[in-house]
Amino acid sequence: PAVVVLENDAVRLACEPEGPGDEDDIEQARTPTALASVGGAQGIREAVERLYARLVADASVSHYFEGVDMPRLKRHQVLLLSQLLGGPARYAGPDLAEAHAHLGVTADDYRCVIDHLVAVLTELDVDPATVAAVSRTLGGFEPDVVRR
């Protein structure tokens, strides 16, 4: 599974393929073409803005964002998505398990967030293969985020 590992105040994605084809998914999500297909840094910022607009409007998951420093959260998400898509490793926040441990995220809610991200990336005309690879890779983070 994919995990986030803190190294020297930065985060490294350590992706271990679980089955046939997983290596290709991980590589597809990390190619410079993947980052370019989102529109580079500006495209990632737009995707994150749209993602959180959708999440705070979705009654099934909006409670996770009550009282949250949204600008800070968005910055973290931009850095993580950028890294996932092949950009530089500049995220210096807590690892995913630590950041989500107190939230009690359910599997359904985690899937909902991924589905919203997939919808946003699709709206932004990101290459379908990149969208699918991002979705599968983020699915690998579920054990780190889901607590019930």
Q: Residue 69 carries which side chain, given as an amino acid letter?
A: D
The whole-number pLDDT of residue 33 equals 61
Instruction: For residues 34 and 97, give the distance between their C-alpha atoms in angstroms, rounded to a whole number.
Output: 26
pTM attached to this predicted model: 0.75
Instruction: For residues 84 and 34, give the distance between their C-alpha atoms in angstroms, rounded to a whole number.
Output: 9
The whole-number pLDDT of residue 4 equals 35
Kindly state the helix (H) or strand (E) to which residue 40 belongs, with its residue range.
Answer: helix 40-57
DSSP class of residue 59 equals: T
The per-residue pLDDT string of the chain (148 residues; one tens digit each, 9 = 90 and over) reads 333 332 333 333 333 334 444 444 444 444 456 778 888 888 999 999 999 999 999 999 999 999 999 999 999 899 888 888 877 777 777 788 888 888 999 999 999 999 999 999 999 999 898 899 889 888 988 998 998 6
Note whether 137 and 16 are within 8 A (CB): no
Instruction: For residues 100 and 147, give the distance between their C-alpha atoms in angstroms, rounded to a whole number.
Output: 8
The whole-number pLDDT of residue 114 equals 96
Angle between helices 107-123 and 40-57 (to 10 degrees): 130
